[in-house]
Copies of this chain bind each other. A is one copy, B any other.
Amino acid sequence: MLKKKLLSILSVFALTLCGSLAFAQDHQVSGTVRDASGAPVIGASVFEKGTSNGTVTSLDGTYSIRTSPDAVLSFSCISYKSVDVSVGGRSVLDITMEEDTEMLNEVLVVGYGTIRKKDLTGAVSAVSSKEFKDSPVSNVGQALQGKVAGLQVIDNGSPGSDVNIKIRGLGSINDCDPLVVIDGVPTDLGLSALNVADIERVDILKDASATAIYGSRGANGVVMVTTKKGVEGKGRLSVTSEVAFQRATNVPELLNAAEYAALNNEMMTASGRNTNPEWADPSSLGEGTDWMAELLQTGIRQKHTVSYSGGSSKSHYYVSGGFLDQKGIVSSVSYRRFNFQANTDAQVLSWLKFSTNITFSADKKKSGDYSISNTMSALPVFSVKDELGEWSGPEGNAQWYGSIRNPIGTTVLNTGSTSGYNILANITGEVSFTPALKFRSTFGYDAKFWFYDSFTPAYDWKPIAVEESSRYESSNKSFTYLWDNYFLYDKTFSQVHHLSAMAGVSAQWNNYDYFNAQKNIFLFDSIHELTNGQKMNSIDGNASDWSLLSFMARVNYSYDDRYLLTATVRRDGSSRFGPKHRWGTFPSASAAWRISREEWFPSINAINDLKLRVGYGVTGSQASVGNYSYLATYKTGVYPLGYDGTEQATLYSSTLSNPSIHWEEVAQTNIGVDVAMFSSRLTLSLDAYWKNTREMLVKASIPITSGFEDTSTTYANAGKVSNRGFEFTAHSVNIQSPVRWETDLSLTYNRNRIVSLNSDVPYYTNQINNSYVTRLAEGYPINTFYGYVTDGIFQTQEEVDAHAYQAGAEPGDIRFKDLNNDGVINDEDRTTLGNPNPSWLYSMNNRISWKGLELSIYLQGVYGNKIYNANNIDNTGMAAALNQTTAVLSRWTGAGTSNSMPRAVYGDPNQNCRVSDRFIEDGSYLRIKNISLSYALPSDLLRKISIESLRIILSCENLATFTKYSGFDPEVALNGIDSSRYPIAKTFSLGLNINF
């Protein structure tokens, strides 16, 4: 039976591809295609039905085609309804096409309601499931990368972890993540907990006009996720399967054993130390161990989703179950997730509608205990296991052999896993009083349980033994409750005045608690339940909560679809704000002018819609305000007191009370223009924004006499940051038929600047190897790199002597610039070295479809940012017994041998590895983010075997990356520092989607 089915599928496939394309054409038909207003429709496709014979209308809407006299011509054009007309022997066929109002009425999901795209006055972008359905991604965040102008997405690489999303630049030196709202419920449930196949659309609210409805949480934008719903009609069973293979996009090449031994000998000699007598002939050591190859593997991921959906005129359902299993590219890492989604709505009574959305996910993240940096630094001269089959480790002179514990041994033996169980559910009742007036009440429930569990056996490997085995367990739970109540009003007066309004109240509250315990010393490594542990090590636990009460209202008014006004206000009272600032009000207003609706606007097809948008608003961010920041905190402890050191219980103050602390504030102005041209075949949007953050939390100066040290920082709402930029998106239908070719372009420019820290003293941040790498300073972008400037290599002692005094310098060492010309190279010679924030984000997607085939080529990139390659400090430093990348093969070995890679010298007397532009690289890249090729088998043939549609998808994510960056991948942390990160993967996938 199955075999028969397979055979028919295959034959359908073959038939379609080989089907003849030529038909008899002996009759000439021509005519003009116009819209309802009489304007010519440019670029409409004209097609002889059932054949590939077709043409497109010209700039005056005319067409001409050879066809058979009894053919049926099919006219189609974006934003118009398609028309089929029988030629019936006629030679002139003028057509009037109706606008497809459904298309014009495309609806965007904004907070507490929806808005038709044409009524929009703010900056909102939407990504529908069509745009990511073929992306081989684990979570929807990865699929958003590049899709929305103004949205910066950074993947964390590691399976099961969330992406980092920033909207319109870094809005704060503190937490500036956007608010995530899933089916109307603001939640801290990560996007990675959702099954991508269950997501219908993602709407990004960017400017204050759009985000003000989320008040004190809207400052950094809002990501609105909407899950799928059932639709009326025949039920549908959908099966989606994907198998993907993953490899790291790039792995830096490291020295082999011979090369390392030679280097070590050189380091020893240069620093006046003894070389290793065993390494007298380095080349005899050969290749040695490739530790990275031991750690990394081909990752395999499979995703399967079965869903069923449908509905009647009164009720709809969508139910889905999903499974994702991922073997990481790091061997100790794996991820497994089960998803269940059930969405229903029902018009229970004529005046009462209910809807429910339930998302349940259970996942297990095995992170293991791996270290990219230790694995890179592990010496190739050791084997993974010794002759006895035990894990090897360095022994003896650490200057030769280093002191890194066997990184593969810990990866294999130490375990660590997080099990998570998430319920996100909401139920909404909607009462209709009149056709125009509705009341809606939503109760949302967001429950999260997660459990961390790790075990480390005792072992006696070199160089440092772990003497006690230990088991650690923690139990965490968080509950967030939401209760929204609001009225919705929507009415058109005198046919031209359209008024819609929303007003209501929202309450949200959360409680969270955890406890954990560790026991040490287990008799057997394989039996390590806590009850078997012999020594208590630690017990900890605590609880916290927060709540938010909000009043909000929004009015949208439009006159004749021509003049549009939106005003929004939200008043938030938060338990996190200090008693002096418990309540904040966040207003916004915006207006739009659809110039093309003016009577005087020429009725030309070249510009069929033109809209100007202006908006301003003030929103807040409370993410950086701790739950109890406004209170003084105290700790209890036990201290030995008195002459005999009797232990006494103590209570001591740990932070000062801070009754004025409140939200950070963003005032944002947005100006945008939307243009639709050539019967909407080309649409353009341009937005410019001025986003000024104020009241940003910065460290407050506390007199040292208060007794409060640096460790208990007190914050004040006193800093300022600005982001200015513009966003450009374009969508064009380049060819309509028989091949359809669409292009999406997106371009974002952003300039980030710290305006004030309320202090002339910059903050030094991001410490690596005891040096601060970045700096927060007024007038500079957030996380600006700060350090020394290199000036080549000292080739001779004369050059050293001629240069300003640089402690420890010898020929072969790096020459640092004496920026202040004081004749000494010291801290005063540091300067800003670059900006980790890209100036430009860009992407281009081309989607070409022909019959059932669809090819999508998606390019994405960033430009203008720098990366501090911190891995290179250890791995090109040539200063200790750590393995190095092959870049050091071109090191300085005598005058003239190199002017960029210094000499190898143990101990780094010149501090060649100090924070300098030596480790700063250009982070710009252009990526072939995704190429997908899919084939949909013809539906009329599939129907014979009871299948509605069947698609096969071949896809590749991160196929190629063009960059000058030398590390693993230029997609590094937001602060631009690349340090021991989980590698970004290149993914090849094969997918199948069957609908019954």
- Residues of chain A having any CB pair with chain B under 8 Å: 234-237, 308-312, 314-315, 317, 319, 321, 340, 342, 344, 346-349, 352, 354, 356, 358, 360, 362, 421, 423, 425, 427, 443, 447, 449, 451, 473, 475, 477, 515, 517-519, 521-524, 527, 529-534, 536, 538-543, 636-638, 649, 651, 996
Contact call B348/A236, Cβ cutoff below 8 A: yes
Contact call B529/A543, Cβ cutoff below 8 A: yes
Residues of B within 8 A of A532 (CB): 636
Residues of B within 8 A of A340 (CB): 425, 427
Contact call A536/B534, Cβ cutoff below 8 A: no
**How distant is the Cα of A447 from the Cα of B449 in the complex, in angstroms?**
12
- Within 8 Å by CB of A541, from B319, B423, B524, B530, lies B530
Known A-B contacts A315-B315, A317-B315; the reply to A475 vs B515 at CB < 8 A is yes
Contact call B358/A346, Cβ cutoff below 8 A: no
A-B contact pairs, 24 of them (CB 8 A): A234-B349, A235-B347, A235-B349, A237-B352, A308-B348, A309-B348, A310-B315, A310-B348, A312-B315, A315-B317, A317-B344, A319-B346, A319-B354, A319-B356, A321-B427, A360-B425, A421-B449, A515-B530, A517-B539, A518-B539, A521-B649, A529-B542, A530-B540, A534-B649
- Within 8 Å by CB of A317, from B346, B447, B534, B536, lies B346
Which of A344, A348, A349, A524 counts the most B-chain CB atoms under 10 A from its CB? A348
- Within 8 Å by CB of A996, from B344, B347, B349, lies B349
Known A-B contacts A530-B515, A539-B539; the reply to A314 vs B310 at CB < 8 A is yes
Contact call B349/A237, Cβ cutoff below 8 A: yes
Minimal beta-carbon separation of A512 from chain B (angstroms): 12
Residues of B within 8 A of A523 (CB): 636, 649, 651
| Smallest CB gap from A519: residue in B | B539
By Cβ-Cβ distance, the 9 closest A-B pairs, closest first, are: A530-B541, A475-B475, A235-B348, A312-B312, A517-B517, A517-B539, A308-B348, A529-B542, A523-B636
Minimal beta-carbon separation of A318 from chain B (angstroms): 10
Residues of B within 8 A of A637 (CB): 534
Minimal beta-carbon separation of A311 from chain B (angstroms): 7
Known A-B contacts A636-B532, A638-B534; the reply to A515 vs B996 at CB < 8 A is no
Minimal beta-carbon separation of A782 from chain B (angstroms): 33
**How distant is the Cα of A531 from the Cα of B544 in the complex, in angstroms?**
13
Which of A356, A517, A651 counts the most B-chain CB atoms under 10 A from its CB? A517
Minimal beta-carbon separation of A698 from chain B (angstroms): 29
Contact call B348/A237, Cβ cutoff below 8 A: yes
Minimal beta-carbon separation of A709 from chain B (angstroms): 21
**How distant is the Cα of A530 from the Cα of B234 in the complex, in angstroms?**
56
Residues of B within 8 A of A531 (CB): 540-542
Residues of B within 8 A of A477 (CB): 449, 451
**How distant is the Cα of A496 from the Cα of B71 in the complex, in angstroms?**
60
Known A-B contacts A235-B346, A308-B348, A352-B996; the reply to A451 vs B475 at CB < 8 A is yes
**How distant is the Cα of A543 from the Cα of B423 in the complex, in angstroms?**
24
Contact call A530/B539, Cβ cutoff below 8 A: yes
Contact call A310/B346, Cβ cutoff below 8 A: yes
Minimal beta-carbon separation of A229 from chain B (angstroms): 13
**How distant is the Cα of A380 from the Cα of B536 in the complex, in angstroms?**
45
Given contacts A235-B346, A315-B315, A529-B541, 17 further A-B contacts (CB under 8 A): A235-B349, A237-B348, A308-B354, A310-B346, A311-B315, A312-B314, A321-B427, A321-B443, A358-B358, A360-B423, A449-B477, A475-B475, A515-B517, A523-B636, A529-B543, A530-B541, A532-B636
Residues of B within 8 A of A447 (CB): 362, 421
Residues of B within 8 A of A538 (CB): 536
Which of A347, A360, A536, A541 counts the most B-chain CB atoms under 10 A from its CB? A541
Contact call B354/A342, Cβ cutoff below 8 A: no
| Smallest CB gap from A634: residue in B | B527
| Smallest CB gap from A476: residue in B | B475
- Within 8 Å by CB of A356, from B342, B348, B443, B996, lies B342
**How distant is the Cα of A521 from the Cα of B340 in the complex, in angstroms?**
44
| Smallest CB gap from A443: residue in B | B321
Residues of B within 8 A of A356 (CB): 319, 342
**How distant is the Cα of A314 from the Cα of B233 in the complex, in angstroms?**
10
Residues of B within 8 A of A542 (CB): 529-531
**How distant is the Cα of A522 from the Cα of B542 in the complex, in angstroms?**
13
Residues of B within 8 A of A518 (CB): 539
**How distant is the Cα of A354 from the Cα of B236 in the complex, in angstroms?**
11
Residues of B within 8 A of A358 (CB): 342, 358
Residues of B within 8 A of A473 (CB): 515, 541
Residues of B within 8 A of A425 (CB): 340, 360
Residues of B within 8 A of A515 (CB): 473, 475, 517, 530
**How distant is the Cα of A427 from the Cα of B356 in the complex, in angstroms?**
17
**How distant is the Cα of A477 from the Cα of B358 in the complex, in angstroms?**
21
Residues of B within 8 A of A540 (CB): 530-531
Minimal beta-carbon separation of A641 from chain B (angstroms): 14
Contact call B649/A319, Cβ cutoff below 8 A: no
Contact call A346/B530, Cβ cutoff below 8 A: no
| Smallest CB gap from A479: residue in B | B362
Minimal beta-carbon separation of A297 from chain B (angstroms): 28
Minimal beta-carbon separation of A484 from chain B (angstroms): 16
Which of A311, A354, A515 counts the most B-chain CB atoms under 10 A from its CB? A515
Contact call B360/A344, Cβ cutoff below 8 A: no
**How distant is the Cα of A356 from the Cα of B341 in the complex, in angstroms?**
11
Residues of B within 8 A of A315 (CB): 310-312, 315, 317
Residues of B within 8 A of A449 (CB): 421, 449, 477
Residues of B within 8 A of A996 (CB): 349, 352
| Smallest CB gap from A355: residue in B | B319
Minimal beta-carbon separation of A110 from chain B (angstroms): 27
Minimal beta-carbon separation of A455 from chain B (angstroms): 12
| Smallest CB gap from A529: residue in B | B542
**How distant is the Cα of A515 from the Cα of B454 in the complex, in angstroms?**
13
Minimal beta-carbon separation of A340 from chain B (angstroms): 7
**How distant is the Cα of A534 from the Cα of B449 in the complex, in angstroms?**
27
Residues of B within 8 A of A310 (CB): 314-315, 346, 348
**How distant is the Cα of A638 from the Cα of B352 in the complex, in angstroms?**
67
Residues of B within 8 A of A524 (CB): 636
- Within 8 Å by CB of A539, from B349, B352, B360, B536, lies B536
| Smallest CB gap from A348: residue in B | B235
| Smallest CB gap from A419: residue in B | B477
Minimal beta-carbon separation of A920 from chain B (angstroms): 42
Residues of B within 8 A of A312 (CB): 312, 314-315
Residues of B within 8 A of A529 (CB): 541-543
- Within 8 Å by CB of A344, from B342, B347, B352, lies B342
**How distant is the Cα of A473 from the Cα of B539 in the complex, in angstroms?**
10
**How distant is the Cα of A966 from the Cα of B362 in the complex, in angstroms?**
53
**How distant is the Cα of A340 from the Cα of B424 in the complex, in angstroms?**
13
Residues of B within 8 A of A451 (CB): 475, 477
**How distant is the Cα of A785 from the Cα of B308 in the complex, in angstroms?**
60
Minimal beta-carbon separation of A442 from chain B (angstroms): 13
**How distant is the Cα of A530 from the Cα of B342 in the complex, in angstroms?**
38
**How distant is the Cα of A22 from the Cα of B348 in the complex, in angstroms?**
41
Which of A236, A475, A477, A539 counts the most B-chain CB atoms under 10 A from its CB? A539
